[in-house]
């Protein structure tokens, strides 16, 4: 991204700070600093923060070993500190220069506690607030070029799914299947991602860790995976059956499919995020499986695989153009099987648009 785009992001962030009444925002995660200024670098245990104020000034306080790289990324105001020094002299200096001693400061949620505690000790009269609402307002709505990357990552995951239907067989282990899926994504240009393979009873664990479980004929297999394209991820879930599906598996799959679409249909501009969750959950409850759907319906997706806005009860954020998120209801029957169906969607002027191919309306029964 050109430097001028980063400058416009800093200006927009300053506008959000002004609107919400904050004097400054302190970013510290590589993702947020990368988003704001192309600095995809964290300090780890060393103190590093990108500070922005409501006038649009931007300053980086960083370990001396990161200073050259930061300047090369176009950060003009770089204030290094060196090992052996207490970096808080840079915070005191920042507070003097920007008048923050008794200011209202939004701090990125991911800042380390030891770093924030040191800042609070240095500025005892300042008020600190969680920076999440600042970031949500700022990063939640994707620009068209970001949506385009999410869509390309989605297309790679979709193609990997089509390909795996040709080789997924009983006798393979979950770990082997996961390696195969990762290979399919890499071959198509996908960058690092993730892959959950949960067969049979393991499918009832939504975040199952792949192991050496061998796929058996008749198993429902939950496949949840994604890759990345220029740092933007994909995330889809498909559930298939190895051989003939039982009547109950067919019924559960059909219920989850209807819940998935009910969630998408509820995703309208201006509708609160919780409506997406409610609509999907209602279908599952009405089918009698409510207690077996124990997670939220979806999460936002961007530079982070999971981020605001969340499709969850209690989230009244109205859906707006550029919001990208998953719709992924599931039913998990302990000791038996699980079904989840997940697509990523994007809010446009015309409404909700899927960034993935459509899931099958009936469970796919693979020949074994």
**Residues linked to residue 333 through DSSP beta bridges, in sequence order:** 337
Instruction: Quote the least distance from Cβ 242 to Zn ion, whole Å.
Output: 21
Q: Which of 277, 342 has the CB closer to Zn ion?
A: 342
Instruction: Examine residue 309 and say whether the peptide bond preceding it is cis (omega within 30 degrees of 0).
Output: yes
Q: Is 235 in contact with 344 (CB distance < 8 Å)?
A: yes
The tokens 């240009």 sit on which residue? 189
What is the rounded distance in angstroms from the CA atom of residue 94 to the CA atom of residue 84?
A: 20
> Which of 185, 164, 160 is CA-nearest to residue 174?
164
Q: Which of 103, 140 has the CB closer to Zn ion?
A: 140
Instruction: Quote the least distance from Cβ 194 to Zn ion, whole Å.
Output: 8
Instruction: Quote the least distance from Cβ 147 to Zn ion, whole Å.
Output: 17
Q: Which of 22, 253 has the CB closer to Zn ion?
A: 253
Instruction: Quote the least distance from Cβ 286 to Zn ion, whole Å.
Output: 24
Residues binding Zn ion (CB under 5 A)? 224, 235, 237, 326, 342
Instruction: Quote the least distance from Cβ 225 to Zn ion, whole Å.
Output: 7
Residue 244 DSSP code: P
The tokens 């649009």 sit on which residue? 56
Q: Are strands 330-333 and 298-300 parallel, antiparallel or unpaired?
A: unpaired
Instruction: Quote the least distance from Cβ 364 to Zn ion, whole Å.
Output: 18
The CA distances from residue 261 to 50, 352, 358, 361, in Å, are: 41, 11, 10, 10
Q: Which of 23, 224 has the CB closer to Zn ion?
A: 224
Q: Which of 50, 155 has the CB closer to Zn ion?
A: 155
> Which of 337, 344, 346 is CA-nearest to residue 241?
337
**Residues linked to residue 198 through DSSP beta bridges, in sequence order:** 222
Q: Which of 54, 238 has the CB closer to Zn ion?
A: 238
């Amino acid at each position: 991204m050109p430097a001028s785009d980063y400058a416009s992001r800093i200006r927009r962030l300053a506008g959000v700070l002004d609107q919400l009444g904050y004097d400054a925002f302190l970013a510290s995660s590589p993702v947020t600093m990368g988003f704001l200024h192309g600095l995809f670098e964290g300090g780890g245990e060393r103190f590093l923060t990108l500070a922005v104020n409501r006038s649009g000034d931007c300053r980086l306080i960083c370990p001396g070993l990161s200073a050259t790289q930061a300047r090369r990324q176009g950060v003009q105001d770089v204030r290094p500190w060196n090992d052996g020094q207490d970096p808080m002299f840079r915070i005191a200096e920042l507070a003097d220069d920007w008048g923050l001693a008794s200011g209202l400061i939004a701090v990125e949620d991911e800042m380390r506690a030891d770093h924030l505690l040191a800042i609070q000790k240095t500025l005892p009269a300042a008020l600190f607030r969680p920076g999440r609402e600042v970031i949500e307002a700022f990063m939640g709505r994707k620009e068209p070029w970001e949506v385009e990357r999410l869509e390309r990552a989605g297309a790679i995951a979709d193609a990997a799914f089509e390909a795996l239907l040709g080789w997924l067989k009983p006798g393979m282990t979950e770990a082997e299947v996961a390696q195969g899926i990762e290979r399919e994504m890499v071959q198509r240009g996908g960058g690092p991602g993730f892959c959950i393979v949960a067969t049979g009873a393991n499918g009832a664990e939504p975040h199952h860790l792949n192991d050496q479980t061998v796929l058996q004929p008749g198993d429902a297999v939950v496949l949840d995976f994604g890759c990345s394209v220029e740092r933007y991820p994909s995330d889809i879930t498909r559930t298939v059956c190895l051989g003939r599906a039982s009547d109950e598996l067919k019924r559960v799959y059909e219920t989850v499919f209807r819940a998935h679409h009910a969630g998408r249909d509820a995703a309208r501009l201006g509708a609160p995020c919780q409506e997406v969750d409610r609509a999907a959950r209602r279908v599952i409850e009405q089918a009698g499986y409510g207690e077996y759907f124990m997670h939220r319906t979806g999460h936002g997706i961007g530079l982070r695989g999971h981020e605001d806005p969340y499709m969850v009860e209690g989230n009244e954020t109205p859906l707006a153009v550029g919001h990208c998120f998953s719709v992924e209801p599931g039913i998990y029957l302990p000791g038996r099987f699980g079904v989840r169906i997940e697509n990523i969607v994007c809010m446009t002027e015309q409404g909700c648009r899927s960034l993935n191919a459509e899931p099958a309306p009936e469970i796919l029964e693979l020949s074994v």
